[in-house]
Structures are given as structure tokens and as C-alpha cells.
């Protein structure tokens, strides 16, 4: 995998090169501190992947992509800001890494290069499996969010739609609860009943309920009844 690092800060380029040393399948074709230089290096080296800083000097790094001739390399955005996530999604960025970049997140981003469906930002409105450390893009009701998957505490079915609860927000997206269940990591999310999926890390209190059911109180105040079958599975999965 041939990569090009595009960042106007030398310490950031050095740190990326240090992190990439742990990946022997990665060849660093070069590094660039400006859009003009990056365009020349892409034409010269034909990299498979760009690590692209959102802000390069006085320019928006994403604008560089509009000047590239096909075939355009895959792109992983690197930035200290999350406000450009919507634009990154629009150009099908492979991933969106927030600085300081964690080695685990970098490894996940690189793995997307060899996985089916690589080239899409994790999207709750789209398709594909999630990992627990993913950040997800949500667009609904003329608004967009880009947040860690682990911040979603509850998903509730409303017909063909699903209400997604995180922070003070609860947007409604056009995805069935069953479809989302197949994509969520089972270690983090539990299908509580026919209409709700909860994030087990938000469980504040559990109590025995009627007919072998459990009742969960989540941080934030929501109470969710876990069906008898799912209560049995949850006990089996989490008991010492």
C-alpha cells in the first residue's frame, strides 16, 4: 500500500511516519506540506492512499481532491477538528482521524483499504458493520452529526424508522431497527425487546422484573424493559 502524507505541520508528518512504521505493508511514497506540491507528488507516485490534513496553510485540504485526475487515491482525513466531517463524507473519505491519532484508530483506518465497501465513512444511514471504536455519520431532518458510536445510548423503532438517542439529541432516521441491529457490535449493543436496542455501557442499574425479565435504567434517566429471552442471553453473556 503506497501512501502520501499531506500536512503543513512537520511534527504532524513525523508523527504519522512514526505510527506507520508499525505497518510493514505500508510504503511511504513521500510527504508534502502544500496542495501544489501534493498534486505533483500524486501525479509522480500514484499513491493508493492520501493522509490529508483538513487545513493546509490557508487552504482547505479537501479542495485538493477536486484537482486530481483519475484514478483518485483513497483518502483518510487527519485533523484536530470534527467540523469538516460532513464535507469528508461528501467526498467518500475512507476515515476521519482526529489528532492526536491513536495507533488503534490508524490500524482500523488502514484495514478499511482491504475490506469490501472501503471508501465510505461509517454511516448510520448506510450499510456495513461497525466496530466499537467507530465514529458514525448521521443525517436526518436537515441536520448532520459525526460522533463516536459509543455515545449512542438507545435506538427505538418507529415503524420503518429508528429514533437514535445520544446526548440531548434524538433524530429519526430512515432505517429499520432490525437492519441496524445487524451492523452494531454485539459486545456493546443489546436488543432489549422488539422495539429497542440499548448500549450496555449506559446501564446504570438493573433489577429483576416480571416473568424473568430485567429492567435497565440508563444514564440519562431512560428505563428499558429487557424481554425474558434477551434477559437470559444477557445473563449468560455477562455473568461470572
CATH number, domain of 19, equals 3.40.50.2300
Q: Is pLDDT at 63 greater than 80 in this prediction?
A: no
Number of other residues whose CB lies within 10 A of the CB of residue 79: 21
Q: Are residues 97 and 48 in the same domain?
A: yes
Q: Residue 54's domain spans which residues?
A: 2-114
> Cα separation of 72 and 46, whole Å?
9
Is residue 39 situated within a structural domain?
A: yes
pLDDT at 4: 96
Is residue 73 situated within a structural domain?
A: yes
Listed range (1-5, 57-61, 150-154) with the worst mean pLDDT: 57-61
Q: Is pLDDT at 88 greater than 80 in this prediction?
A: no
> Cα separation of 54 and 150, whole Å?
24
pLDDT digits (tens, 9 = 90+) for 123-136: 676 656 888 888 88
**Tally of structural domains, the chain:** 2
Output the DSSP codes for 166-234. ETTB--EES--HHHHHTTS-TTTEEEEETTEEEEGGGEEEEEE-GGG-EEEEETTS-EEEEPHHHHHHH
> Which range has highest mean pLDDT (17-21, 70-74, 170-174, 183-187)?
17-21
pTM: 0.57
Q: Are residues 96 and 174 in the same domain?
A: no
Model confidence at 223, pLDDT cuts 50, 70, 90, reads: very high
The mean pLDDT of the chain is 86
pLDDT at 91: 61
Put residue 4 in one of left, alpha, beta given phi > 0 → left and psi -120 to 50 → alpha.
beta
Residue of higher predicted confidence among 118 and 26:
26
> Cα separation of 84 and 225, whole Å?
38
Amino acid at each position: 500500500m503506497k501512501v502520501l502524507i499531506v500536512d503543513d505541520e512537520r511534527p504532524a508528518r513525523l508523527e504519522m511516519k512514526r505510527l506507520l512504521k508499525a505497518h510493514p505493508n505500508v510504503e511511504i511514497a513521500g510527504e508534502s506540506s502544500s496542495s501544489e506540491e501534493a498534486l505533483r507528488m500524486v501525479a509522480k507516485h500514484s499513491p493508493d492512499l492520501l493522509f490529508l490534513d483538513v487545513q493546509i496553510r490557508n487552504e482547505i485540504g479537501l479542495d485538493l481532491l477536486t484537482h486530481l485526475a483519475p484514478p483518485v487515491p483513497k483518502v483518510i482525513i487527519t485533523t484536530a477538528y470534527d467540523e469538516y466531517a460532513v464535507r469528508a463524507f461528501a467526498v467518500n473519505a475512507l476515515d476521519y482521524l482526529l489528532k492526536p491519532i491513536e495507533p488503534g484508530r490508524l490500524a482500523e483506518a488502514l484495514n478499511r483499504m482491504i475490506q469490501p465497501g472501503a471508501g465510505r465513512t461509517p454511516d448510520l444511514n448506510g450499510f456495513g458493520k461497525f466496530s466499537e471504536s467507530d465514529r458514525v455519520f448521521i443525517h436526518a431532518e436537515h441536520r448532520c452529526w459525526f460522533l463516536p458510536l459509543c455515545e449512542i445510548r438507545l435506538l427505538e423503532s418507529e415503524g420503518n424508522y429508528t429514533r437514535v438517542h445520544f446526548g440531548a439529541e434524538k433524530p429519526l432516521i430512515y432505517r429499520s431497527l432490525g437492519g441496524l441491529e445487524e451492523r452494531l457490535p454485539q459486545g456493546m449493543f443489546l436488543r432489549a425487546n422488539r422495539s429497542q436496542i440499548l448500549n450496555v455501557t449506559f446501564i446504570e442499574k438493573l433489577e429483576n422484573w416480571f416473568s424473568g425479565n430485567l429492567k435497565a435504567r440508563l444514564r440519562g434517566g431512560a428505563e428499558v424493559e429487557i424481554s425474558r429471552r434477551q434477559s437470559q442471553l444477557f445473563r449468560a453473556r455477562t455473568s461470572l
